[in-house]
Amino acid sequence: MVNLLKIFVCLSLLVVPVNFAAAAPSHIDEDVSRKVDIGVYANRLLGFSIKDNSFDIDYYMWLRWKNDRMKPHKTIELVNGSQSCQELSEEQKNGFHYVSLRCVAKITKFWDLTRFPLDSQRLELVFEDNNSSLDSLRYVPDSSNSAIGKSFTVSGWEVTDTYTEASVGEYETNFGDPTLPDKNKSQFSRFVFGIHLVRSFVDIWYAFKLFFPVFIAILIALLQFFVPVDTSLRFNLAVGSIFASVGASYAITNSLPPSKYMSLAELINLTTSVYIFLCLCGTVYSLYLSKKSETACGKFDIFFMALAAFFYVGSITLIINFW
């Protein structure tokens, strides 16, 4: 009896690992069955507009998977724009289904213009499957092969790097599916291909041209203190600097789309307008002093001009560095 018990225990120890080993492949196969490798090669940029919140791009895209029941190239969707694709190849290679496409897309992108015109931007293509939820399909970025072509250029910008991301898109709805409860949270695998842009030296020159009327306006406002206060020329310079500031504001606003926040360019122009107004107030006070003492009026003009110039340069420096 004891011998039979020992034999039973030994057989049990042998069978248990075999059962675990046999169960393992089912989990692996389940994971592979919903895995789709995806990559993008950006060929060229067809259009780029800050004002219109959009860009157009020409790119190659490929998908690779093993599940025979899946057709992810038929159900892939560009979330942040519209695309038109031409299928280049569909074949089986090394046990994978492989499809390559060439696409042209128009992307809607609400730019972060907080630092305009010294800003950096990201061009992104965001993909999801419009038919299979996260439980059925999972995108895996082909990061090593995703890149941009040599002909990919953006006027006034430099490409610093590209990146790929896999994330989850969540929606607080069941999309009207009667088999799901109301307010069901739907989740879909998401793939992002991005390109990071920074302003080039050429576009820094564009920033200088944009701010040139602003700096001329404040310069005129400061130079008025060298003109005798009892002449009409001084007030003409003050009023002229205000009009120059308004013109600069129009040029900046015309370069940007409507937004709920203030950009760096708009803040610099607003700061300049405030200092121009203070200079105009200084001129009025100087006129008041001139009726009492010409010497006091002259000293005030020099002091106020130097003080306004100092604080203006300091304010602009702080805004550029910390805004």
**CATH code for position 124:** 2.70.170.10
Cis peptide before 117 (omega within 30 of 0): yes
How high is the pLDDT of residue 13? 44
- 65 and 183 assigned to the same domain: yes
Does residue 171 share a domain with residue 134?
A: yes
Instruction: Identify whether residues 93 and 213 lie together within a single domain.
Output: no
**174 and 94, same domain (yes or no):** yes
Q: Per the structure, how many domains does the chain have?
A: 2
| Strands 35-49 vs 96-108: parallel, antiparallel or unpaired | unpaired
Q: Domain range holding 299?
A: 203-322
Judgement on whether residues 153 and 186 belong to the same structural domain of the protein: yes
Q: What is the CATH number of the domain that holds 274?
A: 1.20.58.390
CA distances from 72 to 63, 137, 146, 163 (A): 8, 9, 18, 22
- R_g of the chain computed on alpha carbons: 33
Q: Residue 30 has what pLDDT?
A: 52
Residue count of the chain: 323
SS3 (DSSP) at 64: strand
Q: Are residues 182 and 240 in the same domain?
A: no
What pLDDT is recorded for position 1?
44
Question: Over the chain (323 residues), what is each successive 10-residue block's mean pLDDT?
Answer: 45 42 43 91 96 96 95 95 96 94 97 92 96 93 96 91 96 82 87 95 76 91 89 85 87 87 93 94 91 89 95 95 90
Instruction: Give a yes or no: residue 58 inside a domain.
Output: yes
Same domain, 217 and 132: no
Beta strands in 50-156 (DSSP E): 54-65, 76-78, 81-93, 96-108, 120-129, 138-141, 147-148
Mutual angle of helices 264-290 and 232-254, in 10-degree steps: 170
What does pTM read for this prediction? 0.81
Same domain for 90 and 180, yes or no, is yes
In a domain, 105, yes or no: yes
Is residue 90 domain-resident? yes
- Same-domain status, 223 and 119: no
Whether 293 and 248 map to the same domain: the answer is yes
182 and 317 together in one domain: no
Closest to 188 measured CA to CA, from 135, 259, 117: 135
Residue linked to tokens 């675990």: 20
pLDDT at 202: 64
Are 122 and 196 in contact, with CB atoms under 8 Å apart?
yes
Looking at 141, 176, 199, which one is the last position of a domain? 199
Residues 97 and 165 in one domain: yes
Alpha helix (H) residue ranges in the chain: 2-33, 72-75, 201-223, 232-254, 264-290, 294-322
